[in-house]
Amino acid sequence: EDQVTQSPEALRLQEGESSSLNCSYTVSGLRGLFWYRQDPGKGPEFLFTLYSAGEEKEKERLKATLTKKESFLHITAPKPEDSATYLCAVQWNAGNMLTFGGGTRLMVKP
Amino acid sequence: KAGVTQTPRYLIKTRGQQVTLSCSPISGHRSVSWYQQTPGQGLQFLFEYFSETQRNKGNFPGRFSGRQFSNSRSEMNVSTLELGDSALYLCASGWDSSAFFGPGTRLTVL
């Protein structure tokens, strides 16, 4: 069964058009929820880790929030350089094993 | 601090051969995890090593193996390569609840 589901699979935005990406999870005993950005042919770049419902973290135009069932990555006034695939992952057991969602491919047009 | 390094960056092998990939974690990190990324299956966890011991293992056949050395550097080996093993292999270095990825090794099996 799917433990981590991201939506939408792809998202096209105009520059400056704010939106949100969704990551829903079904694991119990969540230890951490991670957000990464990945550019084509490169390794994922760490953005945030959220640990408990109600937690929020921000970095430049990105803000991540967490509830008991899902996380949102809000992108405010995006720029073309924000175009990338955004991945979320959950950590639910001992150690650093991550279970990833399928990702959201974001395209920001100037 | 220097980031996670992976060698080689690109590899071309033929079916039936074996391959060894290397990962050097961020200094001070004792956990090293390996992931396989393909367009069809996304990012999938292979295994995690911590202080030279395998701590977690994903759902991959025994042809995929790994090890970690006393300096935390890790290697993964794939024996009897199949066409379906073509992928980007990513290494993640971590401590506590963190995971930072390297640039990956692109393996092509012909």
Q: What pLDDT is stored for residue A96 in this prediction?
A: 84
Structure confidence by residue, pLDDT tens digits, B38-94: 999 999 999 999 999 999 999 999 999 999 999 999 999 999 999 999 999 999 998
Q: Dihedral sign for Cα A62, A90, B25, B37, please.
A: negative
β A104-109/A10-14 pair status = parallel
Asked if B44 lies within 8 A of A34 by C-beta distance, the reply is no
CA distance A58 to chain B (A): 17
A93 and chain B: CB distance < 8 Å anywhere? yes
Asked if A43 lies within 8 A of B55 by C-beta distance, the reply is no
Q: What are the backbone angles phi and psi of residue B100, rounded to the nearest 5°?
A: -115, 130
B66 and chain A: CB distance < 8 Å anywhere? no
Structure confidence by residue, pLDDT tens digits, A44-90: 999 999 999 999 999 999 999 999 999 999 999 999 999 999 999 99
Q: What pLDDT is stored for residue B90 in this prediction?
A: 98
From A50, A90, A57, A91, select the one nearest A74 (Cα to Cα).
A57
Who has greater pLDDT, A26 or B96?
A26
Model confidence at A2, pLDDT cuts 50, 70, 90, reads low
| Chain A neighbors of B3, CB-CB under 8 A | none
Task: For residue A36, give the 3-state DSSP assignment.
Answer: strand
Model confidence at B95, pLDDT cuts 50, 70, 90, reads confident
B74 and chain A: CB distance < 8 Å anywhere? no
Model confidence at A27, pLDDT cuts 50, 70, 90, reads confident
DSSP characters over chain B? ----EEE-SEEEE-TT--EEEEEEPPTT--EEEEEEEETTTEEEEEEEEETTEEEEE-S--TTEEEEE-TTS-EEEEE-S--GGG-EEEEEEEESSS--EE---EEEEE-
From A82, A101, A80, A83, select the one nearest A35 (Cα to Cα).
A101
Asked if A44 lies within 8 A of B31 by C-beta distance, the reply is no
CA distance B12 to chain A (A): 16
Mean pLDDT of chain B: 95
Asked if A96 lies within 8 A of B97 by C-beta distance, the reply is yes
